[in-house]
Amino acid sequence: MSDLGPRYPTEKPDHPYVQYSFGGNLYGSYNSLFCAGCGYGIIGHIFTRVFEDEKLDHKLYPLIIGIGCYTQIVTLAHHKAQKITTLHGRAPAVATGVKMANPILKPIVFTGDGDCLGIGGNHFIHICRRNVDCTILIFNNSIYGMTGGQSAPTTLYGAKSTTTPYKVFEERSDAVKLALAAGATYVARTTVAHPRTLMKYFKKALRHKGTSVIEVITPCLTYFGSKNLDNLGAEDLDIPGNKMDTGGKMIDWIKRNTIRKNQAKFMDEDELFNRYVIGEFRYDTSKPEYSEVYSKIQKTAMGEDWK
Ligand SMILES: Cc1ncc(C[n+]2csc(CCOP(=O)(O)OP(=O)(O)O)c2C)c(N)n1
Ligand code: SF4
């Protein structure tokens, strides 16, 4: 810490929703390390608030965090949260290990679109396939934020990034379709511009027994917004565009660029191009959970009859 002393008071704030963490306390600061206008502050707040509102025991919900800008959530998510930061893309593998070592725990995975669908794509597929009891929140800001704004598997068609200065010409990965195909049992998508829906889905995911995947669309104004116009994907229709270089402009764009699932079913592929369809896509309580089946296999191996 610099000899200027702490910029903010270090005592625990009275209000339970105020973000405060052991890491934040260590640095003598409650301010987040994110760019002003980044959506990750909203997510950290929602996490803290859901745990306060639901009076959940943090010891039962270890937070397993991948690598990206969002990893800095360790400095502001609830001070009691048990946090483990992992290697890039490996959070699902660590969460599987935690669950198998102590099945009463329910890991919560924080992962980015680059972390989960790029380097960690393989781990993501297999945790969904196994239906390991955990909640995975994928933060999709359409870019690799932490490393300087390279295009990610999720970057929208036509978007500019530091590695695609002209435009992205690849098809993007769809986290929801991938989770559904891989076998996750609760799958939803929402955005930080819909915080109440995000809280609702998060609470439902925490109650669900099996792999829950919630994709959360969130703004990176520094690398995605400032390089792109809000008519992204519709330039050819002569719709004028504005640069999305503030959090407010990006939140507006996210709201306009999302379509509810019920509306989407009346729209064709062209109308849905480059848009985010939001809603719940699967809620299946019938599929057996991995650690429960495994404990039965263990009993069989020990010669016990569990049927
Ligand atoms: C094995 C390994 N490869 C590459 C990196 C560099 N790296 C760190 S974060 C990151 C991308 C993160 O993108 P995303 O998950 O979308 O999170 P964001 O920064 O956008 O929040 C990369 C490539 C790394 N840390 N480890
Ligand atoms: S670079 Fe983007 S994702 Fe990272 S903190 Fe800044 S706005 Fe957020």
Domain limits of the chain?
22-301
pLDDT, one tens digit per residue, over 132-141 is: 999 999 999 9
pLDDT attached to residue 29: 55
pLDDT attached to residue 16: 67
With pLDDT > 70 as the criterion, what percentage of the chain qualifies? 87
Residue identifier of the C-alpha nearest atom 10 of ligand 1? 68
pLDDT attached to residue 33: 81
pLDDT attached to residue 2: 39
Query: Given a cut of 60, is residue 56 above it in pLDDT?
Result: yes
Q: pTM to 2 decimals?
A: 0.92
> In which band, very low, low, confident or very high, does the pLDDT at 13 lie, cut at 50, 70 and 90?
low
What does the pLDDT average to over 91-102? 98
Probe residue for ligand 2, chosen from 35, 74, 224, 253 as the CB with the greatest number of ligand atoms within 8 Å: 35
Centroid of ligand 2 to alpha carbon of 289 (angstroms)? 35
Q: Compute the chain's Rg from CA coordinates.
A: 20
pLDDT attached to residue 75: 78
22-301: which CATH number, 3.40.50.9100, 3.40.50.970, 3.40.50.720, 3.40.50.300? 3.40.50.970
With pLDDT > 90 as the criterion, what percentage of the chain qualifies? 77
Query: Given a cut of 80, is residue 185 above it in pLDDT?
Result: yes
Contact call for residues 208 and 182 (beta carbons, < 8 A) = no
When the pLDDT of each residue in the chain is averaged and rounded to a whole number, the result is 90
Pocket residues for ligand 2 (CB within 6 Å)? Answer: 34-35, 38, 40, 69, 141, 145, 220-223
What does the pLDDT average to over 77-88? 89
User: Ligand 2: which atom is nearest the Cα of residue 146?
Assistant: 4
138 lines ligand 1 (CB under 6 A): no
pLDDT, one tens digit per residue, over 206-249 is: 999 999 999 999 999 999 999 999 888 666 667 778 899 999 99
CA distance 186 to 137: 12
User: Ligand 2: which atom is nearest the Cα of residue 149?
Assistant: 1
